[in-house]
Structure 1
């Protein structure tokens, strides 16, 4: 809204220096009253790694301000007095258009009901519900978060799981904080097949022309479990939540059924990040032996991806390997923000064949941490996963790894013998990680351990049963 008789054009010269060219506007000898228009352009890759980052398919952080009032030129603006705004965007989005909306689309919101948000910093709340009776199979062609206004910023992420039970079976109604699988009422261990997932910052998710997620019909259980992660670090009282996911459903079936698969690292304290580090890498594996057994001979096509870490994550990517040869990456975000976790449509579907490997890497920083950060479910713990959306639907739900427990206890025993750390193998993994004084030498030894240790695999079917992979 600035009034000025000048306009500015911001350009980039061959040396990538920012130059402002002011051109005088004349209007019959009178000052022109109008806005100051700034046009900015630069190369996606300036080849200046020290000062500029590449504008790529990942997250770009835009920093801007709105100035109101008269100015005569840009150099008169004092940025220290302006309210600077940061917005996260994906500038280079897929150009694949959304499929036309069928005429019979109906909306179905699957949500929790008036949950009193606990005062604890981290709560996972589980609610079991029964879906409407879709006699015939339908397809979900789009879904989005339906987050209560009161709890925006408190709902960190949520998932809707279909309960994989035989026809005629019932699932106990449950509406309480989630417990471990061993402590949950009998039957909830079957609620593992993901129908939809939302995380903070995510927009809507659309399926491609050729695929939709199946829902309803005679062979699908009507029972679902909604799992909501509440992050309440300020311990705010009196919050009531009815968040969920809004599904868009049609009878007009597409060619393929689509699914969601989770790859990366297990949510376990076997994953650790030492403190005071500017950079720490962790790798989660979906190994060839798992895809060889679980994928069809013609493979699957991955069309969308949602990368996910917690607060220490800076960068995350998934590499695709076939027969020892690295193919183009499945997805990458070099400027990742845990507050902006979009489900991103890939620029073109990626074919994953039996025997392929998918390696998900998270690059974290722990400069401000005084003790080790462990893998787990709390926002103060860490995760490293990639939720991939694909077709045709297969029975592989989870393909994640961790180091073996035996090898980790061998590492702890080495720390005790070499450095006389206060290791007590009877006290469990978390205790022993936290009792180590993380010197540079110990950090290097942990790095070498993670790079060479044998791994255990979660190569799991949608009902939670493991494929027989060593």
Structure 2
């Protein structure tokens, strides 16, 4: 029974006086909404559901009920109830022995049930799941009837679902709005009625000149613009800076694999990356991305990855990005650094692996040459991989000593790739090492998985937004594909390509050990300056002159 104090608080909250930083509908029909705020080591929730019965919210690592941390609530005869439970399978959740959920308020009005409750981020209860920076699959359900004596009636297949959410490290709606002062202008860089090719995977490149800028400006925010109805096609987008003047005409929107892309070879520097489920990039109040002035950015390339596994024809798209910019320059110029494993260099993941881990690095010899202006202050991270990935970590070392974990997601979801804003700016110094570690599950695959652009291929990348701007672009340390054939003991390839030979390979234990050894020992560094030019000469990189030159000179697909 709720006490008098709680009831008074209930009235204030339900009438709109309680402040929540985040809110999201959990279902497409907008029948159930979850609101939350984090303060210190507590997280406060409000759930609103179009029902006069019970509503359930669960925190799951995989989207299923088994092992999920579940909270059931309802309002009966004006009194709110909450029940702290856990899932043991596809059956009624079991009541927890340890109670970690505090009921704050509840009401039921006009077929709308509202419940507020609080819990610790870390409860130290074996029946609970911690709430941290990892992706959480929020399972939900509701029913038109209240429980009888706490016995819950099955909700049925139509009143349940799951949605991935990152509860910590995403910007609140108020922070997003605060940057929109009167001097801020906006511009859309979008495709214009582009015909989506009928191929499985397409990278489409469109180019723009910022002709309207009479002088220096700072971009302070970049957000995705995805055409409604095309969410299934638009897999990810990159906004890329071009460091040379371009001739923009009606032929400046084309397939990124086209031979005519030679004209846009200077488009190398990633400014903004977005993938399914992601949101905007908002720069800190002391920094902005420089455009418009002599020596600053005047040309952009928008690269859109269209995913069309059903080979549909005739669909058109107007997706892209919206930039917000201001003539009131901030103290620092901002930029972005990309590190990890580039997908244009071959890497391989064997089939039937439950937790196969590989690593890409930005090593000391690169960071010493790239960060000559001094320390980088990192404020936001995007972690990016594809369907087989289950976890990504970005860690930091200095002089061989572990500094810390910058970002982590041990329950990575390909369909939710948010900007992860750091609670405090992370300092990276010249000579430091950055490690991107990705873990993959290929138990459902019969053949090897390769690096590449398709969603069934894989990537392992981290995008670091930082200031002040350094002469840095991409920073990789990758396995050397030239040694892969020998380590896997492939023998005579005859008329097969290396890709074909590995795809059809019988994965013995010796070969699995061999490819793990390849990742550990056969490494080469590849890093570029702000203009996309290699910092080390091609001769220093044992991937072969033709391959590296083809990438850098012809600006082949960024594949992020």
TM-score normalized by the length of structure 1: 0.87
- Once the two structures are TM-superposed, the CA of residue 288 in structure 1 deviates from its matched residue by 0.5
1:179 aligns with 2:248: no
Other structure's SS at 1:186 match: helix
Aligned to 2:83: 10
Aligned to 2:521: 452
- Between 190-199 and 142-151, the greater mean CA deviation after superposition: 190-199
1:463 pairs, out of 514, 524, 531, with 531
Partners of 1:227 and 1:355 in 2: how far apart? 32
Alignment of 1:26-175 (within 5 A): 41-47=118-124, 52-69=128-145, 72=148, 74-81=150-157, 83-93=159-169, 100-165=179-244, 170=247, 173-175=251-253
- Between 441-450 and 302-311, the greater mean CA deviation after superposition: 441-450
Partners of 2:280 and 2:222 in 1: how far apart? 6
Aligned to 1:409: 485
Partners of 1:187 and 1:340 in 2: how far apart? 34
2:505 pairs, out of 424, 430, 436, with 436
Is the 1:10–1:39 Cα contact (8 Å) retained in structure 2? no
- Once the two structures are TM-superposed, the CA of residue 345 in structure 1 deviates from its matched residue by 0.8
Summarize deviations over 1:338-359 as a string: whole Å, max 9, x none.
1000111111110000000000
2:278 pairs, out of 198, 202, 215, with 202
- Once the two structures are TM-superposed, the CA of residue 32 in structure 1 deviates from its matched residue by 11
- Once the two structures are TM-superposed, the CA of residue 100 in structure 1 deviates from its matched residue by 4.2
Partners of 1:44 and 1:439 in 2: how far apart? 43
Alignment of 1:222-371 (within 5 A): 222-268=298-344, 270-296=346-372, 298-371=374-447
- Between 371-380 and 32-41, the greater mean CA deviation after superposition: 32-41
Change (3 A) 1:445 1:7: same
Summarize deviations over 1:373-397 as a string: whole Å, max 9, x none.
0001111110000111000111211
Partners of 1:329 and 1:273 in 2: how far apart? 25
Is the 1:10–1:20 Cα contact (8 Å) retained in structure 2? no
Is the 2:291–2:297 Cα contact (8 Å) retained in structure 1? no
Is the 1:312–1:364 Cα contact (8 Å) retained in structure 2? yes
The structure, 1 or 2, with the larger RCO (C-alpha pairs under 8 Å, 6+ apart) is 1
- Once the two structures are TM-superposed, the CA of residue 145 in structure 1 deviates from its matched residue by 0.4
- Once the two structures are TM-superposed, the CA of residue 118 in structure 1 deviates from its matched residue by 1.3
Number of residue-to-residue matches in the alignment: 450
Other structure's SS at 2:367 match: helix
1:389 aligns with 2:465: yes
- For the aligned residues, what is the CA RMSD? 3.0
- Between 442-451 and 259-268, the greater mean CA deviation after superposition: 442-451
- Once the two structures are TM-superposed, the CA of residue 108 in structure 1 deviates from its matched residue by 0.6
Is the 2:372–2:471 Cα contact (8 Å) retained in structure 1? no
Change (3 A) 1:41 1:425: farther
Partners of 1:312 and 1:185 in 2: how far apart? 31
Other structure's SS at 2:514 match: helix
Other structure's SS at 1:293 match: helix
Is the 2:221–2:281 Cα contact (8 Å) retained in structure 1? yes
Change (3 A) 1:327 1:360: same
Is the 1:104–1:251 Cα contact (8 Å) retained in structure 2? yes
TM-score normalized by the length of structure 2: 0.74
